């Protein structure tokens, strides 16, 4: 599971929010967060920003965990400048790296 999936699940539970409520609050459908967590869909950086805002956590926390540094913040800023196709490619690459790490 990629970091943003783990963090979405963690923060929905920690804050006592339903996944459907977070998805709707971010402007998406009620299944959106569950579909992300299960790996059915890959969100764009824009979608992750909206979800982070709905959870009231920094985007960097969803992408990289609870501890962020200057390099992490720079990476997040660069992700915002990439178009949707590029964001999906970066997310797929990160998913690939994460799955290699576990094997």
- Report yes or no on whether pTM surpasses 0.75: no
Measure Cα distances from 2 to 25, 64, 80, 100 in Å: 22, 9, 19, 11
Confidence at residue 36, expressed as pLDDT on a 0 to 100 scale: 95
For 53-85, give the DSSP string. Answer: HHHTS-HHHHHH-S---HHHHHHHHHHHTS-HH
CB of 36 within 8 A of CB of 8? yes
pLDDT digit string, tens, across residues 77-96: 787 788 888 888 887 887 78
pLDDT class of 73 with cuts at 50, 70, 90: confident
- What domains can you pick out in the chain, each with its CATH number? 3-102 (1.10.260.40)
How many helices (H) and strands (E) in the chain? Answer: 7, 0
Show Cβ contacts of residue 63 under 8 Å, excluding neighbours closer than 6 positions: 3, 4, 7, 48, 72, 75, 76, 79
pLDDT tens column, 18-38 = 999 999 999 999 999 999 999
Whether residue 5 has pLDDT greater than 60: yes
């Amino acid at each position: 599971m990629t970091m943003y999936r783990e963090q979405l699940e963690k923060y929905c539970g920690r804050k006592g929010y339903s996944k459907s409520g977070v998805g709707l609050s971010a402007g998406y459908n009620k299944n959106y967060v569950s579909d992300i967590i299960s790996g059915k869909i890959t969100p764009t950086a824009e979608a992750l920003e909206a979800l982070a805002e709905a959870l009231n956590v920094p985007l960097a926390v969803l992408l990289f965990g609870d501890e962020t540094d200057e390099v992490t913040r720079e990476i997040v800023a660069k992700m915002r400048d990439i178009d949707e196709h590029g964001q999906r490619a970066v997310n797929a690459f990160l998913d690939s790296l994460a799955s290699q790490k576990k094997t």
